[in-house]
Amino acid sequence: MLMFTRAQRPRSNTPNGTIAALDVGTTKVCCLIAKVGAAGSVKVTGVGHHLARGIKAGAVVDMDAIEDSIRAAVHGAEKMAGDSLGQAYVNLSAGHQHSQTIGVEVAVTGTKVTDADVHRAIEQAMIRADVAGREVIHAIPLQYSIDGATGIREPRGMFGARLGVHLHVVTADASQARNLAICVGRGDLEVQGPVSSAYAAGLATLVDDERDLGATVVDMGGGLTTIAVFSEGGPVLVDSVGLGGQHVTNDIARGLGTSMQHAERLKTLYASAVENPGDDRELVDVPLIGEAPRIGGNPVPRSELVRIVRPRIEELFEHVRERLSASGCDEVAGRRVVLTGGASQLDGVGEVAARILEKQIRPGRPLGVEGLAESTAGPAFATAAGMLLYAASGLADADVGSLGPAEKGGSSFARVGRWLRANL
Q: Which residues of the shown chain bind ligand ATP in the complex (CB under 6 A)?
A: 25-28, 52, 58, 93, 221-224, 244-246, 249, 264, 267-268, 341-343, 345-346, 380
The residue (of 25 and 160) whose beta carbon lies closer to ligand ATP is 25
| Least distance to ligand ATP, CB of residue 375, Å | 11
- Report what 343 binds from ligand ATP, Mg ion, none; CB cut-off 5-8 Å by kind: ligand ATP
The residue (of 386 and 417) whose beta carbon lies closer to ligand ATP is 386
- Report what 223 binds from ligand ATP, Mg ion, none; CB cut-off 5-8 Å by kind: ligand ATP
| Least distance to Mg ion, CB of residue 201, Å | 8
Count Cβ atoms within 10 A of the Cβ of residue 419 and give its class: 0-12 exposed, 13-18 middle, 19 or more buried: buried
Q: Tell me if 25 contacts Mg ion by CB under 5 A.
A: yes
| Least distance to ligand ATP, CB of residue 59, Å | 9
Q: Which of residues 334-393 bind Mg ion (CB under 5 A)?
A: 383
The answer to whether 74 and 183 have CB atoms below 8 angstroms apart is: no
Q: Tell me if 223 contacts Mg ion by CB under 5 A.
A: no
The residue (of 29 and 416) whose beta carbon lies closer to ligand ATP is 29
User: Looking at 109-117, 187-195, 218-226, 295-303, which segment touches Mg ion (CB under 5 A)?
Assistant: 218-226
Chain centroid offset of residue 249 CA: 22
Nearest CA to 48 among 18, 25, 19, 28?
Answer: 28
- Report what 417 binds from Mg ion, ligand ATP, none; CB cut-off 5-8 Å by kind: none
Residue by residue, DSSP assigns 374-386 as GGGSSGGGHHHHH
DSSP three-state, residue 50: strand
DSSP three-state, residue 69: helix
The answer to whether 72 and 51 have CB atoms below 8 angstroms apart is: no
- Report what 342 binds from ligand ATP, Mg ion, none; CB cut-off 5-8 Å by kind: ligand ATP
Chain centroid offset of residue 82 CA: 27
Nearest CA to 51 among 261, 212, 227?
Answer: 261
- Report what 244 binds from Mg ion, ligand ATP, none; CB cut-off 5-8 Å by kind: ligand ATP
Residue 104 to residue 323: CA distance in whole angstroms: 25
Q: Which residue is nearest to Mg ion, using beta carbons?
A: 221
- Report what 319 binds from Mg ion, ligand ATP, none; CB cut-off 5-8 Å by kind: none
| Least distance to ligand ATP, CB of residue 90, Å | 13
The residue (of 95 and 341) whose beta carbon lies closer to ligand ATP is 341
* Residue 84 vs residues 13, 40, 75: alpha-carbon distances, Å: 15, 22, 8
| Least distance to ligand ATP, CB of residue 28, Å | 4
- Report what 401 binds from ligand ATP, Mg ion, none; CB cut-off 5-8 Å by kind: none
Phi-psi group of 138: left, alpha or beta (phi > 0 → left; psi -120 to 50 → alpha; rest → beta): beta
Count Cβ atoms within 10 A of the Cβ of residue 326 and give its class: 0-12 exposed, 13-18 middle, 19 or more buried: exposed
Instruction: List interacting residues with Mg ion (CB under 5 A).
Output: 25, 221, 383
